[in-house]
């Protein structure tokens, strides 16, 4: 099996669904940006995970496509609103909605996307529709909570590594777990299978975010698509920063403290922070954590029956966690 090609096939399924999904034209203020967002591409990780989670327990892809699209639309809703809150000017190489239009449009378009996410999800034909919609909804609640913590941490002192892990579990991890859980329900997974898929999602979600934090500091700028060290320059409380602060002593600790206090460091300060990350062993520790979570994720998959879907999920796990961008 050519995994890369097979993954693209799934991604295309999602892309096609989304491009056909919007029938309305008016009001233009709403539907032009909605189309712009949904046609913006991306890896479509969450829907592909959902589709494969359904198939790996014996379900049919076509029964899961509505929920897959729903979870992708939901993800895009969070991006549109987070970008306003973070004053982000671009995303995937294109202007963000609030930059291309304005903040009011972006608020409204995010709301509309959330409604459209439910519209897609609720097309799912399943006797478990209530459970599916509940999983989805609890996902939205936790994503909002995660974003709330993230914004609080920007100005709060004394944020610990545990605080950070709770925040990313909610903000990033939860929707990945929800994708695998909903896939399992649609595929009529046994309790044991559902549990394995949920645990898989949890490990992947955590590893995914750690890898993202890591790429900020050791990624290839051209491939990564954002400025390397961007998190450091903004003083963002990442796992790396918090863990390095816990480990560093003396002048290094003072430098990291000033990164917190002054809301980041200058571009030239990035190299210094990077050096501290390496010297305190935080880079290695994070790499090890990504490997550990990745291994645990794959181990949980091994308990499911062998199939093309399982093979693709295993490949996808490596693809996500060994990525350089």
Number of H helices, E strands in the chain: 17, 2
User: How many whole angstroms separate alpha carbon 50 and alpha carbon 65?
Assistant: 8
Taking the least distance from each CB to a second copy, the nearer of 89 and 115 is 115
Residues in contact with a second copy, counted by CB under 8 A, come to a total of 39
Q: At what angle do helices 191-218 and 45-56 cross, to 10 degrees?
A: 150
Candidate list 84, 241, 273, 282; residue touching a second copy; CB under 8 A: 84
Q: At what angle do helices 3-21 and 45-56 cross, to 10 degrees?
A: 110
| 30 is a contact residue toward a second copy (CB under 8 A) | yes
Q: Would you list the DSSP string of 281-323?
A: THHHHHHHHHHHHHHHHHHHHHTSPP-HHHHHHHHHHHHHHS-
User: How many whole angstroms separate alpha carbon 48 and alpha carbon 67?
Assistant: 11
Candidate list 43, 151, 195, 310; residue touching a second copy; CB under 8 A: 151
| 24 is a contact residue toward a second copy (CB under 8 A) | yes
User: How many whole angstroms separate alpha carbon 237 and alpha carbon 315?
Assistant: 31
8 A C-beta contact, residue 256 and residue 273: yes
| 137 is a contact residue toward a second copy (CB under 8 A) | yes
Q: Smallest distance from the beta carbon of 110 to a second copy, in angstroms?
A: 7
Taking the least distance from each CB to a second copy, the nearer of 138 and 220 is 138
Tokens of 60: 């049919």
Point out which span in 53-61, 146-154, 219-227, 232-240 binds a second copy (CB under 8 A). Answer: 146-154
| 99 is a contact residue toward a second copy (CB under 8 A) | no
**DSSP strand E in the chain: where?**
90-91, 94-95
Residues 6 or more apart from 127 whose CB is under 8 A from it?
none
| 3 is a contact residue toward a second copy (CB under 8 A) | no
Q: Smallest distance from the beta carbon of 181 to a second copy, in angstroms?
A: 15
Taking the least distance from each CB to a second copy, the nearer of 170 and 206 is 170
Taking the least distance from each CB to a second copy, the nearer of 263 and 305 is 263
Taking the least distance from each CB to a second copy, the nearer of 139 and 235 is 139
Peptide bond into 27 cis (omega under 30): yes
Q: Per-residue x/- mask for a second copy, residues 102 to 131, rule CB under 8 A?
A: -xxx-xx-xxx-xxx-xx--x------xx-
Point out which span in 10-18, 24-32, 193-201, 238-246 binds a second copy (CB under 8 A). Answer: 24-32
| 23 is a contact residue toward a second copy (CB under 8 A) | no
- Alpha helices for the chain (secondary structure H): 3-21, 28-38, 45-56, 61-85, 97-100, 103-121, 129-155, 161-168, 174-186, 191-218, 221-224, 230-234, 239-247, 250-261, 269-279, 282-302, 308-321
Q: Smallest distance from the beta carbon of 170 to a second copy, in angstroms?
A: 9
User: How many whole angstroms separate alpha carbon 226 and alpha carbon 240?
Assistant: 18
| 25 is a contact residue toward a second copy (CB under 8 A) | no
Contacts of a second copy in 172-201 (CB under 8 A)? none
Candidate list 147, 172, 209, 286; residue touching a second copy; CB under 8 A: 147
Taking the least distance from each CB to a second copy, the nearer of 109 and 297 is 109
Cα 220 to chain centroid distance, Å, stands at 20
Write out the residues near a second copy by the rule CB under 8 A: 24, 26-30, 77, 81, 84-85, 103-105, 107-108, 110-112, 114-116, 118-119, 122, 129-130, 133-134, 137-138, 140-141, 144-145, 147-149, 151-152
């Amino acid at each position: 099996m050519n995994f890369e090609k097979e993954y693209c096939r799934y991604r295309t399924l999602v892309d096609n669904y989304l491009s056909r999904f919007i029938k309305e034209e008016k009001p233009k203020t709403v539907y032009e940006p909605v189309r712009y967002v949904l046609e913006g591409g991306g890896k479509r990780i969450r829907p592909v995970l959902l589709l494969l989670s359904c198939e790996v327990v014996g379900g049919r892809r076509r029964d899961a496509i509505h929920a897959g699209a729903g979870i992708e639309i939901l993800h895009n809703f969070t991006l549109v609103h987070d970008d306003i809150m973070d004053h982000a000017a671009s995303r995937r190489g294109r202007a963000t909605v609030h930059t291309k239009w304005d903040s009011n449009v972006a608020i409204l378009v995010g709301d509309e996307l959330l409604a459209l996410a439910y519209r897609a999800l609720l097309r799912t034909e399943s006797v478990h529709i209530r459970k599916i919609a509940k999983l989805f909804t609890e996902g939205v609640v936790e994503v909002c909570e995660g974003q709330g913590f993230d914004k609080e941490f920007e100005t709060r002192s004394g944020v610990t590594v545990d605080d950070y892990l709770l925040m990313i579990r909610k903000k990033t991890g939860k929707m990945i777990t929800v994708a695998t859980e909903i896939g399992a329900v649609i595929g009529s997974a046994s309790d044991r299978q559902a549990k394995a898929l949920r645990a898989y999602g949890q490990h992947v979600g955590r590893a995914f975010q750690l890898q993202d934090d890591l790429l900020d500091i050791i990624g290839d700028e051209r491939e990564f698509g954002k400025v390397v060290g961007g998190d450091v320059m903004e003083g963002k409380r990442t796992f790396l920063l918090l863990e390095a602060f816990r480990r560093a002593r003396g002048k290094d600790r003072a430098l990291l403290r000033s990164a917190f206090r002054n809301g980041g460091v200058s571009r030239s300060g990035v190299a210094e922070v990077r050096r501290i990350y390496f010297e305190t062993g935080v880079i290695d520790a994070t790499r090890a954590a990504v490997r550990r979570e990745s291994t645990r994720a794959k181990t949980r998959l091994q308990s499911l029956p062998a199939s093309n879907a399982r093979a693709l999920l295993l490949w996808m796990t490596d693809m996500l966690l060994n990525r350089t961008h």
